[in-house]
Structure 1
């Protein structure tokens, strides 16, 4: 049985710990500086909690001692503290960050590490990169690789057509930071909220626009092989224009604390969400110009007897699956590990990754112990 440390006891941290504990193969310690947050963690015989301030070096050394892996489920601003502490402790490191600078820090730490450093283990970046890279393997040459993901309310009721389903800090970060892309074969940066497009999936109209971080490490992996590579976030039509008004015209991108306050006070949370995943790749196959696409929707559903949102399910399932794959020897055991290092078929067949295999949503995902 592996001892795992989950840093951060919020909604995603709680679900990660619950998934891992329920499978029977992991003992989990959830650490957070807030006692009230830890008090909400589901009681389980294989879960314990620890009040730890990540800025307290001695406390971090103590809580990480003997841990097989550290899973970071808190904001990317703590990467510079938690990732080095994991390396010092000799533990494998996983996170969910979409922040490009944080991932570069993790990559630097991994250069001479004897353990694995596996960032970006969520949905986007994360699973979408695994899907897109899987599709590229069917092509002799690559023309376009397009990745689109949206975490959306099923029944939007405000002008933004949006409810909070994810970290507000992460949301604002991806709306404000430069976006990586490959355009006409050249790796470049593009501004967020630009290159608006409209698309229709299963009869539902969406818009998509540039946001930061969703490509993960694919720019580096596919550079020199693909003509155009980009990632865009999907929302319901009209969302992007309001964001541009708030963030650019009213300059709230310069006052992100205020933007966070506005979002968290004005936009209600919802348990009724849908995660929309879409990837399309074009290129040549046996001399013919071809295209292959992948489309999936994951809805809120019941996991081990408790209702969870679609974004909680997909995010927690992603990082738990990558941990399982490392334990099973399906990923490199040390150094920097990219999401595209994960084999799609192994991922989707995994007890956690199977959350993504449900074609009509996740009605009941039961995490069973390995045989």
Structure 2
């Protein structure tokens, strides 16, 4: 299968290596950075230097491939999807942007190829888990999804280090959050809904952020009382972000905030990804709760270290592509994360990355 992979950043490089190593994929990586491309070219992976913000240039680069795998920043998702559509390629991406996903959904209506956005961690794997658990109930009451990509050793006031895209981070902190409350679809405010919980003796906080639900609100509307997604951080992070975004009005100057964070907040490869899903409802006349919890840790291999967010994000999209190639997903139109069977995901050679901590538990 011939893949045009857009983006040679940390996540893009990980995706390229995973797909290339199987021998089942002929991968060509497109990016505007000659420096990043050179790293992959030295490993025998095909590359092309392309202006990723120019649709005509993207089309020239992807034409002739079977599929486009987009690992570019979220604001380029629509451009990349349009290029895939016009070139007759299947399309996969990692976007958490709600507006981009809705635009891609519209494109897919008339497409002869498959369009599957939101294939990362959240949205992505988290929705696959929630949908799988919810389907087991006769009547679903509450679906709660919590995900955090956290530094293993927080040292600053925000208790945070850059573990993924600053653009994506600020985007999810600034846009309305889809949810279902009391059986009705609502738009919740970002950074609200603060709650605290502990897992394995560690204290966390969680609050509303945008995009993590994917298409679950549409899928479960009218079938669930409450459904929401929140980002997990260490206690105190939310209050400081509200100060920056609201009190200092940096929500209105996001580029300045991104610049501040890039200059003052170190990135880290020593991180942990937390996945925590609870679903409650009636099953065989009994009120039950199902819990799915994972902690995925960074790979500290000396020669090729990988952060936990690299592992989980790349595993999500590579698994989607792999299952599609095997014919286990719809082959045309819009493909939801809910179309992925959780057992198929976890059994996949890439999806096995999520099998690090514990199994699903049932609590009566």
TM-score normalised over the length of structure 2: 0.96
Deviation readout 1:107-161 (Å, 9 max, x if unpaired): 0000011111000000000000001111011100010000000000111000100
How far does residue 269 in structure 1 lie from its aligned partner after superposition? 0.7
**2:134 aligns to what?**
136
Contact 1:18-1:42 within 8 A present in 2 as well: no
Instruction: Specify which of 325, 328, 332 is matched with residue 326 of structure 2.
Output: 328
**2:337 aligns to what?**
339
How far does residue 44 in structure 1 lie from its aligned partner after superposition? 2.9
Deviation readout 1:52-106 (Å, 9 max, x if unpaired): 1134444323211211110110111112211011011111100101000000011
Matches within 5 A, 1:201-280: 201-280=199-278
**1:8 aligns to what?**
7
**1:32 aligns to what?**
31
Contact 2:163-2:268 within 8 A present in 1 as well: yes
Contact 1:4-1:67 within 8 A present in 2 as well: yes
Cα distance in 1 for partners of 2:144, 2:181 equals 12
Give me the CA root mean square deviation: 1.3
Contact 1:14-1:42 within 8 A present in 2 as well: no
Deviation readout 1:261-283 (Å, 9 max, x if unpaired): 11111110111100000000000
Contact 2:16-2:27 within 8 A present in 1 as well: yes
Q: Which runs of 4+ in 1 moved over 4 A?
A: 302-305
How far does residue 174 in structure 1 lie from its aligned partner after superposition? 0.3
Please, which moves more after superposition, 329-338 or 35-44? 35-44
**2:100 aligns to what?**
102
Matches within 5 A, 1:157-176: 157-176=155-174
Q: Look up the SS of the partner of 2:305 in the other structure.
A: strand
Distance 1:14 1:183, change over 3 A: same
Contact 2:55-2:80 within 8 A present in 1 as well: no
Distance 1:99 1:303, change over 3 A: farther
Cα distance in 2 for partners of 1:197, 1:272 equals 25
Q: Structure 2, unaligned stretches of length 5 or more? A: 359-364
How far does residue 24 in structure 1 lie from its aligned partner after superposition? 1.2
| Number of aligned residue pairs | 358
Distance 1:142 1:303, change over 3 A: farther
Cα distance in 1 for partners of 2:155, 2:191 equals 22
Contact 1:7-1:74 within 8 A present in 2 as well: yes
**2:295 aligns to what?**
297
**1:149 aligns to what?**
147
Cα distance in 1 for partners of 2:239, 2:41 equals 40
Contact 1:273-1:310 within 8 A present in 2 as well: yes
Q: Look up the SS of the partner of 1:148 in the other structure.
A: strand
**2:362 aligns to what?**
none
Q: Structure 1, unaligned stretches of length 5 or more? A: 361-371
**2:306 aligns to what?**
308
Instruction: Specify which of 51, 56, 71 is matched with residue 69 of structure 2.
Output: 71
User: Is residue 2:99 matched to residue 1:80?
Assistant: no
Distance 1:37 1:295, change over 3 A: same
